[in-house]
Amino acid sequence: MVIDDEPDVHRATTFALAGVKILGRPLQFLHAYSAAEATLLLASEPDVAVVLLDVVMEREDAGLALVKTIRQDLRLAELRIILRTGQPGYAPEIETIHDFDINDYKTKSELTRTKLYATVTAAVRAYEQIRKLDQLAFYDRLCSLPNRNKFIDLSDERLLSGQFTSDVIAILDIDDFSEINDALGHQQGDRLLQAVAERLKLELGSDVILARLGGDTFGLMGDNCVLDPLTVLDLFRAPFKVQDDSMVVTATMGLTQELGPGIAGRDALKDANIALKLAKKNRRGGFVMFSAQMGADIRERVRLLQALRHAVESERLFVVYQPQVNLISGKLVGVEALIRWRNEDGSFVPPDRFIPLAEASGMIVAIGDWVLRVSCMELARLQALGLPDLRMSVNVSQIQFRHPGFLDKLRSALTDTGINPKCLELEITESVAMDDPDFMLETLHKVRKMDISIAIDDFGTGYSSLSHLRQLPIDRLKIDRAFVTELNSAVMGGHIASMVIELGRNLNLTVIAEGIEEEVQAQTLLKMGCHEGQGYLYAKPMVAPDLVKWIEARGNNSPA
């Protein structure tokens, strides 16, 4: 584009560069005779590669002011700028050349045909190189879409304009895409992504900003009527034609309408991702709209996670022990090790708040190993006090149980403390026992070969396969406290407790009930055939020194 207020300059430039080809393509010319005209023209023609710009036009600073407009308002970062002037005294400062990425500065008198050709050629080549780098940095080559970085830039521009008050930002994720890659290969998976991108572009139209954020995830921004999640997800009902295959896939969406003042594209994308995670957790093929409460929940989780890390480092976690008794004799038969977290101010964080967080973060492996070792050490001390047959029950999470080093940690705890393995019991939940049956069966058999007993905790709350349960090398079923609480009410808790006890009897397993708080509950369980229990009726969980005092006070030095 030639921008100059002198018509002769336009004619001379066009004549000098007539017929010239750069990178195999002929030059095309656009002409503007003022900075104002150039601004309008550049706004409608964003693919201009080079401008030859006069410094002094309708005003003395018109050219330099236009440079600022090009870079700051029109945001044409790739466009190459060559300043020309017939008045050397108006040369830009070095700082201006640097700040606004001015390619070159020439006086009109020194721009002969040869020098003009060389200058323009260098500028066009620089433009092409920048375009290539821009494509690599901001565009996804597979789907021919903007990438995450470009999506954030485009959404920022749209948000800053303030014109699209009914917009939403959404993240769309193809369900089970990794399985498609595994089954059909990555090439076919790539073709599916291309087919999805084409359908979204075709159906949603040019008013929607569409990008591939990475993997099987797409970003969308547009009016909430166009990006109605039910409408978008409905686009996945028809099969996708991928070469000779007809593929049916579903997608899940997370969306946010929280796009008020001060919200940046990156933050909105983060909110949509929070909603997406919740949507995938709830039900694939659906959607969730972000709410401010979700953001607060996430921030609280992050705060709690950081506090948990600090608690581990500062040894704010500790183990308590709840006695387990024979319901007939009342004698002590075992203790269950339970983890607790006490803050520096003396307040406690409930286990149901921090244990799921520890599991989600992977910290449960180290925490669980520590609890196991501390419990074994305490068992050794209790046995030395005259309780050689006392049983120590330790809870093991799914993540800890499946960790490759778990069995080695278990052996190490036994060896280092010298306890009798027959006195150690590992408690796993019903859901853990039913997950990946082959792996669980193999690992549980390895545990049993160490002479360690195994209990199924919270039994009755999951969906056990009885045929699979019969195969597991377990010793004990534990009735969940919820069913114990309902024992003497009209609800189903009592029936379930009775069925668990009967099942245990048929499988030759001991049954223990937790959460016993009233004598009537203990008597009901005893009549049903349950002979072991724990709960506040007998003792609250207590630290090791208090447990020793409790045992001594009862004169209960011999487990039944």
Segment 401-439, tens digit of pLDDT: 999 999 999 999 999 999 999 999 999 987 777 777 788
Query: Is the four-CA dihedral 234, 235, 236, 240 of positive or negative sign?
Result: positive
The greatest distance separating any two alpha carbons of the chain, rounded to the nearest whole angstrom, comes to 113
Span 320-370, pLDDT tens digits? 999 999 999 999 999 999 999 998 888 999 999 999 999 988 999 999 999
Same domain membership, residue 517 and residue 386: yes
pLDDT of residue 110: 66
Residue at 560 is within a domain: no
Residue 392 confidence class, pLDDT cut points 50, 70, 90: very high
Please say whether the beta carbons of 43 and 81 come within 8 A: no
pLDDT (mean) for 496-511: 89
pLDDT-based confidence at residue 560 (cuts at 50, 70, 90): very low
Same domain membership, residue 171 and residue 105: no
Q: State residue 387 phi and psi, 5-degree precision.
A: -120, 65
Q: Could you report the per-residue pLDDT of 25-43, keeping only the tens digit for each?
A: 888 889 999 988 999 888 8
Query: What residue numbers bound the domain in which 78 lies?
Result: 2-137
Domain assignment present for residue 353? The answer is yes
Count of domains for the chain? 3
Query: Which residue would you say has higher pLDDT here, 323 or 298?
Result: 323
| Residue 378: predicted pLDDT | 97
Two tokens at 237?
A: 């009902």
Co-location of 343 and 473 in the same domain? yes
| Domain edge (last residue) among 94, 114, 137 | 137
Q: Are residues 83 and 222 in the same domain?
A: no
Please indicate, yes or no, if residue 236 is contained in any of the structural domains: yes
Same structural domain, 266 and 382: no
Please report, for the domain that includes residue 348, its CATH number.
3.20.20.450
Does a structural domain hold residue 174? yes
The answer to whether 83 and 63 are in contact (CB under 8 A) is yes
pLDDT at 95: 64
286 and 410: one domain? Answer: no
CA distance 308 to 363: 9
User: In this structure, is residue 296 part of a structural domain?
Assistant: no
Q: What is the pLDDT of residue 115?
A: 80
CATH code, domain carrying 85: 3.40.50.2300
Query: For all residues of the chain together, what is the average pLDDT?
Result: 88
Amino acid 217: pLDDT:
95
User: Could you say which of 257, 290, 323 is where a domain stops?
Assistant: 290
Where is mean pLDDT largest: 49-58, 61-70, 349-358?
349-358
Please state the rounded mean pLDDT for residues 281-286: 87
Q: Tell me the H-state helices in 464-517.
A: 466-471, 481-485, 493-506
With beta carbons less than 8 A apart as the criterion, state whether 290 and 272 touch: yes
Based on the domain organization, do 150 and 129 belong to the same domain? no
Ordered alpha helix ranges (H), 235-363 = 265-282, 292-313, 351-361
Q: Residue 556: what pLDDT?
A: 56
* Phi (first) and psi of residue 559, to 5 degrees: -55, 140
Place of tokens 């093929």: 285
Are 408 and 503 in the same domain? yes
Q: What are phi and psi of 366, to 5 degrees?
A: -65, -40
**Among candidate residues 161, 179, 53, 156, the one with its CA nearest the CA of residue 108:** 53
Q: CA 534, 537, 540, 546: dihedral to nearest 10 degrees? A: -100
The confidence score (pLDDT) of residue 161 equals: 81
Q: How far is CA 374 from CA 147, 226, 337, 344, 400, in A?
A: 50, 58, 9, 22, 16
119-160, pLDDT tens digit by residue?
Answer: 888 888 887 777 776 667 788 889 999 999 899 999 998 888
What pLDDT score does 27 carry? Answer: 85
297 inside domain: no
Please check the confidence at residue 92 and state whether its pLDDT lies above 70. Answer: no
What's the pLDDT score for residue 93?
57
Same domain, yes or no: 158 and 132: no
> What percent of the chain is predicted at pLDDT more than 70?
92
310 has a pLDDT exceeding 70:
yes
CA nearest 556: which of 540, 541, 543, 538? 538
Residue 268 lies in a domain: yes
Q: According to the model, what pLDDT value does residue 464 have?
A: 58
Q: Are 348 and 342 in contact (CB under 8 A)?
A: yes
Q: Return d(Cα 457, Cα 170) in angstroms, integer.
A: 41
Q: In CATH, what number is assigned to the domain containing residue 234?
A: 3.30.70.270
Task: State the CB neighbour count (10 A cutoff) for residue 400.
Answer: 24
What is the β-pairing status of strands 453-459 and 424-429? parallel
Q: Is 534 found in the same domain as 387?
A: yes
User: Phi and psi of 277, rounded to 5°?
Assistant: -60, -40
pLDDT at residue 463 is higher than 60: no
Q: In this structure, are 266 and 149 located in the same domain?
A: yes
Pick the last residue of a domain from 290, 315, 346: 290
Is 513 inside a domain boundary? yes
User: Is the separation of the CB atoms in 342 and 383 below 8 Å?
Assistant: no
Check whether residue 356 and residue 443 sit in a common domain: yes
